[in-house]
Amino acid sequence: MSYYRTLPISDDKNLRAYIIGLAIGDGNLSNPNGRATRLRITCDKKYPDLIKRISRSLQLLLPKNRIGVYDRKTCADVMVYSNQLENILGWKVGLGSKYTQNVSTPKWIFDNKDHRINYLKGLIETDGSIYLDRGYKMVIFSTINLQLANEVKQLITSLGFTPKLYTIKPPINSKWNQKVKYHIRLSKDVQKFLDLVKPNKS
């Protein structure tokens, strides 16, 4: 087990902020072999460039670790094993889902503009969308974690923009155990925001 702990890890905080954003968006931690923690980031196969960028970013973070891409029918899982992942990401294996653990933004990300930008880039590329509404560009980030929603709103606001937070309640008679969703939507100065953060879901 010490082998995994001593492998080198990049100290590039912008890279870490980006990967934390990706992982909070569409990542999962597990320990399937009982020896090392596995991070799996799932991405729709209609975004091949994003899959490559996730893989390349994880390789830069953990240059001596093997990065795997598992091809599924409609998506791909980008995976890496490392016992340093829990400390990097801020949540633990075996303590429930990210929602149960109330995963939130690491405090150090708030302290630096570049860290905030890279973190938001990762979040939007996974759990966000960029779309047209009556011919106008919009950016939206969705989560079931209210604390995270408020943090994302705060981060976007800190960059000089005015996002709005919307609460989406599930139907009363829904057959599924759906949770309340929170949408942070940016509808003003969207192109300026996109030029700054540069999310790319292609």
Q: What is the pLDDT of residues 22-63, one digit of tens each?
A: 999 999 999 988 889 999 999 999 999 999 999 999 999 999
Architecture, CATH, for domain 107-197: Roll (3.10)
Listed in order, the ranges of the chain carrying CATH 3.10.28.10 are 2-89, 107-197
Question: What is the per-residue pLDDT for 6?
Answer: 61
Q: Cβ(186)–Cβ(138) under 8 Å?
A: yes
Q: Cβ(30)–Cβ(93) under 8 Å?
A: yes
Q: By CB neighbour count within 10 A (0-12 exposed, 13-18 middle, 19+ buried), where does 2 fall? A: exposed
Rounded to whole angstroms, what are the CA distances from 162 to 10, 73, 135, 166? 33, 38, 20, 13
- Mean per-residue pLDDT for 108-134? 96
- Mean per-residue pLDDT for 90-106? 91
Q: Is the pLDDT of residue 5 over 70?
A: no
Architecture, CATH, for domain 2-89: Roll (3.10)
- The bridge status of strand 27-30 relative to strand 164-168 is unpaired
> For the segment 63-93, what is each residue's pLDDT rounded down to a tens digit?
999 999 999 999 999 999 999 999 999 999 9
Q: What's the pTM?
A: 0.92
Q: Which of 89, 73, 76 is nearest to 29 (CA)?
A: 89
